[in-house]
Amino acid sequence: MLSLDWTFFGQIVLFLVLWAFLHRFLFEPQFDVIQQREQRSEGALRQAQQIQAEVGGMEEQYKSRFTAARTGTMQEVDTVYRHAEEQAQAIADAARTEADKILADMQATLQQEIADARKELQSRAPEFARNISEKLLGRPLT
């Protein structure tokens, strides 16, 4: 069997003293450092998650504002486009009306000039007939 002598108990006592010394001056400070690192890491992770949540909220806000701005802009463009089409139609209608009026005035003026020319030609027809007859006969008519 094993014989237990005082060196065995001395080794146990020395081991327990060494264990208490190492625990107090080495292990506890190391555990505290590790715990502090974990707390900082957890705090940093919480902060990162919070920032990520804020960024997600800001992104949603940006998207909604962008969509609203785009919709508003498209409505404004559509309104301007319709207004421009209406103005173009109004201008075309006014030009068509003006052209019709000018055409009617020109036709009336032309008909008046034709009527005046006919009257003048009818009043001068005897004179023309006389000139033609004289030229054909080769002598003056009396």
Q: Give me the DSSP letters along 42-109.
A: HHHHHHHHHHHHHHHHHHHHHHHHHHHHHHHHHHHHHHHHHHHHHHHHHHHHHHHHHHHHHHHHHHHH
Average pLDDT over residues 45-61: 91
Yes or no: say if 133 and 141 are a contact pair by the CB < 8 Å rule.
yes
Burial 96-110 (b: 16+ CB within 10 A, else e): eeeeeeeeeeeeeee
Summarize pLDDT for 2-49 with one digit per residue, the tens.
677 888 888 999 999 999 999 999 999 999 999 999 988 888 888 899
Given this model, what pLDDT does residue 134 score? 85
Given this model, what pLDDT does residue 2 score? 63
Summarize pLDDT for 102-136 with one digit per residue, the tens.
999 999 999 999 999 999 989 988 888 888 888 88
Given this model, what pLDDT does residue 142 score? 72
Given this model, what pLDDT does residue 1 score? 54
